[in-house]
Every structure is written in structure tokens, then in C-alpha cells.
Amino acid sequence: FFSSRTMFFAAFRRGVQIPTAVRAFRAGKPAHGGTSETENLRTMLFKSDHSSAGMHIYHKLNFALIGLGPAALVLSPSALNYPVDIALGIIIPLHSHIGGNDVITDYAHKITKAKAFENSLRIGLFGVTVVTFVGLLKLNLQGPGVTETLKSFWRSKKADK
């Protein structure tokens, strides 16, 4: 809504600053202010470590998992463990997803510079996360639960009735 001529003169007057990209060490905090509105959901889903919201979620989830792990171990066979199981079933796939995006950002570029490779890896990771999420949900709702399933490696075989 400003004509290009107006913008040119305004910028020319105050001196144009060519953006020099400051090296941003954290992908979640890019040098140029982050993504535009339309890109935000897509970035958070498929490129989670490039969105600062995703990284904030990741850090909070880590704290939650640190508490939930021993809680699940201690509470396990009882029904008190049910909310812990549900929480684990939601948080573990999210944690794996954002962490996996981190790994892809770090290493995919070193294998091939082709963007298609990295993007296909990210889409694959999203699929893996969906499968994990739905599978753990089913385990919690229609099976013995996440903790009990892991504990069953320690259990001896059920005696035949």
C-alpha cells in the first residue's frame, strides 16, 4: 500500500542496510526473525527444531519425562499408573519427533546436500511418529499399557491355569 517509489525514497533517505546474516547457532532461533505466519504450523510439524515454539515444548517435555520415568517404574502394576501411562504415550512420540528432527538437521546435510533427501527424511519421521503415537495409544487403551509392556520383559511366563 506504499508505492514502490515511495519505499525507495524512504529507504534511500535513511540508508539501506543490507542484511548480513549473523550466524545463528540454534536452528530454533534463526537470525532473521523466524518464519512467517503461514509457515509456522508446517515448520513445527515437519522441521520442529527450526521453530522456537517446538524447542520450548521440547525442553518442557524433557522435564516432564524425567519425572514420569521413575514414577511409572514405581507405580507400575497399579491403576494409579494409568495417567502416567497415557502421559508417556503422548510425550514419548513427541520427544522422539523433535529429537529426530534435530538429528536430521545435524546429519542429513552431511550425507547429501539435496534438499529432497532431507525433506523426505522429515516426512518419513513424521510417519514414524504417527505410527508410534497411535500404537502406544492403542497399547494404553486396549492393552496393558506402556510401562507394563516394558516390564513384561522382566516377568516370567504366566503359569498355565
Binding site for another protein (CB under 8 A): 1-2, 4, 7-8, 11-12, 16-19, 21, 23-24, 30-33, 36, 59, 62-63, 65-66, 69-70, 77, 92-93, 96, 99-100, 103, 109, 113, 128, 131-136, 138-139, 141-145, 148-159
Nearer to another protein, 36 or 116 (CB): 36
Shortest gap between Cβ of 51 and another protein (angstroms)?
14
Nearer to another protein, 117 or 151 (CB): 151
119's CB contacts (< 8 A; 6+ apart) are 46
Q: How far apart are CA 39 and CA 32, in angstroms?
A: 14
DSSP state of 32: T
Shortest gap between Cβ of 99 and another protein (angstroms)?
6
Other Cβ atoms within 10 Å of 86 Cβ, number: 16
Question: Phi/psi zone of residue 13: left (φ > 0), alpha (ψ -120 to 50 degrees), beta?
Answer: alpha
Shortest gap between Cβ of 74 and another protein (angstroms)?
13
In contact, 50 and 28? CB cutoff 8 Å: yes
Nearer to another protein, 116 or 156 (CB): 156
Shortest gap between Cβ of 33 and another protein (angstroms)?
8
Task: Quote the cell numbers at residue 157.
Answer: 511366563
